[in-house]
Amino acid sequence: MHFQCLPTELDPEQVKDYLFGLQQRSKTPSQTYFKHTVYGLRFLLKTEGLPYDFLHLPSISREKKLPVILSREEIWRMLQRAQLLKHRLLIGLLYGCGLRCMEVRGIRLCHLDFDRGMLHVVQGKGNKDRYVPLSEHLVRGIKSYLSTAHPKVYLFEGSGNAEGKGFDGRYSQRGVQWAVKTVAKAAGISKEVNVHMLRHSYATHLLEDGVNIVTVQRLLGHANIETTMVYLHVCTLPHSLPCSPLDKVFELCGLSGR
């Protein structure tokens, strides 16, 4: 629209000038808009079978943000404030098994192995299966839920109300997100809680409990251990827990009355 022609008809210098103008323009919506423009051009080149350097597109560096996690006390408050057993189990599985949103929605009754205390996560991200242990508390809760809700195929089936019902009868993604946010708000948690934050907390707490990182990688279903290693930056291991120097000042001087 800017040059009144197709992007593939532009030369690299025109593209550079346009992208530079996007970043310099005072009314530019955001850096995200710039990134999406580059991603859109990349997609166009891919569909046309052209290399990315055809337009000399800039590389987009990923922001290195550490995951935000919930404390064990906040997890407990969410479990206590969930009014429906369905929501309590949903939160318990997301945190207690480190599941992604699509994975918890995809739990079928046949995936539950109560005898072994295991959950079969089928076709998770990357189309990989894995087994994760089920808490005894979850097993008891799920059995109670099954005896009252009587789901037929999926453990969590949409009810068609405000929570949302998926096209195939499963609990919808929006419904899962709504349930987590609603319970977090009821628990008085000030953090901007989302579904994936429970998975982040699962990984971090496992590492803090001494589970080795290779096992955590397997439980999360990560293809590369580098993805799992980010949790090493947020977990606090007892032997390496830092302390504020202010505590030492109070310890040496404050208690002695100096």
Q: Which residues are catalytic?
A: 100, 125, 196, 199, 222, 231
The torsion defined by the Cα of 141, 107, 204 and 219, in degrees rounded to 10, comes to 120
Closest listed residue to residue 183, CA positions, set 255, 258, 76, 257: 76
pLDDT tens for each residue of 60-95: 666 678 889 999 999 999 999 999 999 999 999 999
CATH architecture of the domain formed by 72-195: Orthogonal Bundle (1.10)
What order of strands is seen across the sheet that includes strand 112-113?
A: 112-113, 118-121, 130-133
Phi-psi region at 123: left, alpha or beta (left = phi > 0; alpha = psi -120 to 50): left
Output the CA–CA distances (angstroms, integers) from residue 18 to 3, 28, 34, 44, 173, in the order listed. Answer: 9, 12, 10, 16, 37
pTM above 0.85, yes or no: no
pLDDT for position 161: 52
pLDDT tens for each residue of 195-234: 999 999 999 999 988 899 999 999 999 988 988 998 988 8
Rounded Cα gap, residues 180 and 87, in angstroms: 8
Domain boundaries, the chain: 7-54, 72-195
Rounded Cα gap, residues 3 and 198, in angstroms: 46
Calculate ∠ Cα 125-127-129, nearest 5°.
90
Closest listed residue to residue 89, CA positions, set 197, 180, 190: 180
- Least confident stretch, 40-54, 99-113, 194-208, 218-232: 40-54
pLDDT for position 18: 80
Output 6 or 95, whichever has higher pLDDT. 95
